[in-house]
Structure 1
Amino acid sequence: MPVQDALFRPVRAGNAFEETVERLMQAIRLGVVGPGERLPAERELATRLGVSRVTLREAIRSLQDAGYVESRRGRYGGTFVKSPVPVPAPDRRVDPEELADALTLRAAVETGAAECAAARALGPSDRRNLVARLTECRDATLEEYRRKDSRLHLAIAEATGSASLTAAVADARTRVNALLDRIPLLAPNLAHSNEQHEVIVAGIVAGEPEAARRAMAEHLDGTALLLRGFLS
């Protein structure tokens, strides 16, 4: 199978935007589409990835804003990889094992926290705290978003009633935040994250452990896709 076919295969449904960004970044970082070269035409690429053209355009616009691609008009126009391709500064490079370890820890403790919180009989204060943190995150500015996002995830951990699990989530989140600080904030991803937050909190408040766990797993997978795309 040609490398382009392997990279530009259909994405999964849950995190279409994030996985599209990851696929495009893989193609750029691996040199499958080299500096100065043009990405496949929009219609072709959307078909190969199995995403809508709206989703593809959002992904390309995000990479354009981050400085990885540029759009050119005219007969020979299209989306071209920047030359040279931006490379992370030495202090922003990530060891692949460090990245994998941080993502594995987060997946284990945060999906478990969502499940445990949903299985617990929540008091009024727990419910108020979850809803307040959810609203705070939804209304956050771009500059505030990661801090408010962290507060929501910690509120979910606190709703388990386990100090040890809350501490483990705080540790995992601290490590992931250090990685997130190395990649750009993408507005479509934040909007999608807020939608996923609503589903997670709804599952917890409704007392549905499996639904809350599944929703959290899908949410964390979206973040992992972006981190791997930009940092791997």
Structure 2
Amino acid sequence: MGTTVGFLYPGYSAEDDYPVFEGLLGGRVRLPLAHTLMREDAHRVDALLDVGSAEVLAEGARLLGGRGVDAVVWACTSGSFVFGWEGALEQVEGVRRASGAPATSTSFAFVEALRHLGARTVAVAATYPEDVAGRFARFLERGGARVVSTASRGIVTAAEVGTLAPDDVLDFVAAGDHPDAEVVLVPDTALHTARILDGLEDRVGKPVLTANQVSVWAGLRLAGDTAPRDGLGTLFRTETAVPV
């Protein structure tokens, strides 16, 4: 038997990262997606609160639960952290109840990934507008991180984020680094990063955590699959958690 982690993914932008992860993880891992409703594609707080609403997520969670998944991840960073820490916890609990499987979200996956690496001081390279990027920084700080810089690309729609070429992503993440940061965080599941994780770390010379990467990592851990893997960045190579 293999491991199956289901993902609630809003709309269509970088959903093709997940088949890439399946291939990189080997033949015993399945990462099915349920595309959730996105009434408006906008990195704007009111639109994001709708994207992550309980009724929208419950519909997709029930679908994934019917497929017998081992865990479920709400794979939308901005659609979770905009609810704040307590609201994001309630959101995950709703997904768990609707799916009948252990659940988390990309926002919490970033926090857990930092704890796993034993890192606290971070730089954020966000594709979002500045106000939304600031909300992510505050969520991280609530989780114990120290955010030393926040770079904002200012892109409003997930559709546009999904069109960014690999070289553009490499340049943007490198520009968002900070000399005091132990790790660079790239918090948008609309951004294609599955094929360039090691390239990102080679470019900045330190661990880089991207949204789809931490979503897959956290989902696998929830499902009981903690085996280290190569080719997916420092996070997947790090075998045991380091106390923070």
Using structure 2 for the length normalisation, give the TM-score.
0.28
- Larger-gyration structure (1/2): 1
Using structure 1 for the length normalisation, give the TM-score.
0.29
**Higher helix fraction: Structure 1 or Structure 2?**
1
Point out which structure has higher relative CO (alpha carbons under 8 A, 6+ apart). 1
**Higher strand fraction: Structure 1 or Structure 2?**
2
